[in-house]
Structure 1
Amino acid sequence: MRKIYKYSTSLTSQLAFCATPLRLDSYNNCQFSCGYCFARTRAGFGRDEKLQFANPEALKKRMARVSSGVIRSALDEFISRRIPFQMGGMSDPFSPIEAKEKRTLQYIRILNEYDYPFIISTKSDMVGTIEYSTALSEANAYVRFSTTVVDESSRSRLDKGCPSISQISYAAERLSSLGVPVSFRFQPIIPGHEHNAEGLLSIANNSGVKHISAEYLKVPLEANTKFSSELIDLLGGDPVSVYMALGSRRQGSEYSLPLSYRGGYLISMSKQAKTLGMTFGFADNELLLHSDGNSCCSASNLYLRNANFFSANIVSLAKKKQLGEKLYFSELACQWLPEQSLASYLNSKSRLKGLQDEPVKWLSYLRKIWLGEYGQYSPLFFDGISPTGELDNFGIPIYIRDVSSFYSQLASNETRITHHHSDITEAILTR
């Protein structure tokens, strides 16, 4: 008997910085076998868990109820606000089972009834087939294809079961020809393989892609056992040691390459994308302020119609600031916030405790993030925000939007990618 996926519609824990934190998943995991599977390494589950199926009928009833004005939860409030859904936030909505089950297709048709905005994230070309492209041609949708930045032979070994880049290109071109905005998300970028981005940018341009976003591979603490053998081999047999040797710093439960390594490559990709007429998003979280558009790294606010975005977060606040302007926590309280509780949408490590006043829970949660008491995403995490050393009337730190070295480099289009970088990377990966 098929098990229903209870948490197919929810809010993500990225509320501190995400303008589109509304998630809609057709399945609890996907059938692709990517060597870096984010769901498996980050959330503790993934392709090893038994497949569960979403119930589109539940969304249909919720949409009808919310549209009639009956609001029962914070999730309903987000929908009433017309904040876009992200389809594929936890698992690919177009893994092979979709050809039989068509849960994603049902979701698309339900959302089309309300011209409701949504973003699709996928590694599959199924989205470009006649049945799906026809449905999407009538949708208020934005399709984002994830493409690993590595040579194609390695890609086939890392992204097992996924279509080739030529198949993705064909699907993107078909959707684009039907007026569906399409994005390529360079994720993950494998260090030492950045030169492959140039070819992918050319393919994207020829396929009618409007936007590029880019994010480097993050290496979880358990990467040496949880990454696929192919990826482990590609990273010198010891991903954690390789990342540490490249100067990586630990962020939560994973290692991220230093900006001194990533910066020049990312800026070069940005410059090339814009030269080709595409917008660009820096998808590494600390660089979100430097992305085009006002909706995280996807720039979906530029490509979706009649949509609102969640602006009561640090990145959205900072994006509204000119250089030299200060950021006050009290400004978040002036943004739209749900009146009902958010606690049930957060995982067990993030839930608020001891707060009884439901409407206050949102501001209490955001305040703790601002103070660095919940995770790492305080204002200081983001490049381009600095402390002033001042406190507001409530004793809460005041920050300022400033010129970082990365911003200066980006603004002047100085890429600074040196042979030294490449030589160090090659030496470490082939040792």
Structure 2
Amino acid sequence: MMGCKCGTQVILCNLPVRFDTYKGCSHGCKYCFAQKKQNIAKIQKSETVEALRSFIEGKRGRETAWCDWNIPIHWGGMSDPFQPIEKNIRASYECLKLLAETKYPFVVSTKGKLVVDPEYLDLLAQCNCVVQVSMVCSKYDPLEPGTPPYEERLKIVRTLAGRVQRVIVRVQPYMPEVFKDVMANIPRLADAGVYGIVVEGMKFYKAKKGMVKIGGDHCYPLNVLRPHFEAIRAEAHRHGLKFYAGENRLRAMGDSMTCCGIDGLEGFKGNGYNLCMLMNGKNPEPTELMKQIGTGGCFQSLNQVAGINKKISKQSFYGLMQEELSNKTDYYRRMFGLDD
């Protein structure tokens, strides 16, 4: 049975456990990173409600063996759970019923208008959740042909606010060309009841003039992004919004190192033991379970080499995290912007 996954994000993210009800997406966003990994035009069901129930009940697979608490699930990392096909298949609706019943904490990411359909909204209001809506500005509308336009999403956000724990707006992926538009929209987001915004720069697969290569991506240099993030943060704070930096190189600029907006919420405990926290001087401590042999299965996705399964099975989550840091210190210093 497929279930909640935890792969390469485990070194970067405080909420690395992901769940997707679908493979593929009809939004057709021109910049989508998932297109690199699969043909997303073909939509099919992915993880099941039974697999979700299993995780909620404390059962762990190879990739999540390190986690022995109710870590919030990030739902919708690779495919929108509330895209149009959900109206017919209703896989996400079945999961929502379970999440409403169990009150298990989760963060869900969407651009779909189905999220405010009365039967879905009524369930979300019973859930222990943070809803993230991706929306940069109206200039992105042509880049997102299968989604509600920006102004409609603003209405969606207004409807959600007050019915769920928090609404977070994802200003992702951000391009400097829309700086003025983003700044102008901040007071409108505050008026709509948004709790905070998370900003992350666009990443390109092909080299572009003026970009810097970070890992496998071509990114805006920090001397371009940093002043924009500083100005957006100041404007967000001026209007009572929290600011989070989804950009790995600028994560410490945010109001929390957990950039999805769960800070301070009761029952929302992420995993602080990762390279982003370690390298930013946060001194996280591993749990006792993380030190046990056989808890590092999620590291297989970071090391696709022959014989890696056998090696990983003889090590702990803690040991593999330390080894990853030791073997690739310079690589991660660059990834987290520590040399800029």
Using the size of structure 1 for normalisation, the TM-score is 0.71
The aligned runs of 1:139-178 (5 Å cut-off) are 139-149=127-137, 152=138, 154-178=139-163
Tell me what 1:235 maps to.
none
Tell me what 2:270 maps to.
309
Is the contact between residue 148 and residue 189 of structure 1 (CA under 8 Å) also seen in structure 2?
yes
**Cα offsets for 1:263-302 (capped at 9, x unmatched):** 111111110001000110111111112211242x223123
**Cα offsets for 1:334-356 (capped at 9, x unmatched):** 67627443336743754771654
Alignment CA distance shift 1:354-1:86 (3 Å): closer
Please say if 1:103 is aligned against 2:91.
yes
Q: Over aligned residue pairs, what C-alpha RMSD do you find?
A: 2.8
The structure having more radius of gyration, on CA atoms, is 1
The residue type paired with residue 317 of structure 2 is W
Shift of 1:19: 0.6
CA–CA distance in structure 1, aligned partners of residues 320 and 65 of structure 2: 19
Which of the residues 218, 234, 251 maps onto 2:203? 218
Shift of 1:148: 3.0
Shift of 1:29: 1.6
Shift of 1:181: 0.6
Tell me what 1:181 maps to.
166
CA–CA distance in structure 2, aligned partners of residues 249 and 335 of structure 1: 39
CA–CA distance in structure 2, aligned partners of residues 268 and 72 of structure 1: 43
Please say if 1:59 is aligned against 2:52.
yes
Is the contact between residue 11 and residue 346 of structure 1 (CA under 8 Å) also seen in structure 2?
no
Tell me what 1:259 maps to.
222
Is the contact between residue 157 and residue 194 of structure 2 (CA under 8 Å) also seen in structure 1?
yes
Shift of 1:159: 0.3
CA–CA distance in structure 2, aligned partners of residues 311 and 338 of structure 1: 15
Which of the residues 360, 369, 372 maps onto 2:324? 369
Which of the residues 274, 284, 287 maps onto 2:247? 284
Which of the residues 3, 7, 12 maps onto 2:7? 12
Identity over aligned pairs, percent: 21
**Cα offsets for 1:49-75 (capped at 9, x unmatched):** 4533432123224434x2xxx656552
Shift of 1:113: 2.5
Using the size of structure 2 for normalisation, the TM-score is 0.88
CA–CA distance in structure 2, aligned partners of residues 146 and 359 of structure 1: 40
Please say if 1:197 is aligned against 2:197.
no
Q: SS of the residue aligned with 2:103?
A: coil
Q: SS of the residue aligned with 1:90?
A: coil
Q: SS of the residue aligned with 1:367?
A: helix
The residue type paired with residue 103 of structure 2 is D
Please say if 1:382 is aligned against 2:336.
yes
Alignment CA distance shift 1:374-1:111 (3 Å): farther
CA–CA distance in structure 2, aligned partners of residues 93 and 200 of structure 1: 26
Structure 2 gap segments, 5+ residues each: none
Structure 1 gap segments, 5+ residues each: 1-5, 222-239, 322-326, 387-403, 405-431
Shift of 1:333: 4.6
**Cα offsets for 1:236-287 (capped at 9, x unmatched):** xxxx4xx32xx31111222101011111111111100010001101111111
Shift of 1:361: 3.5
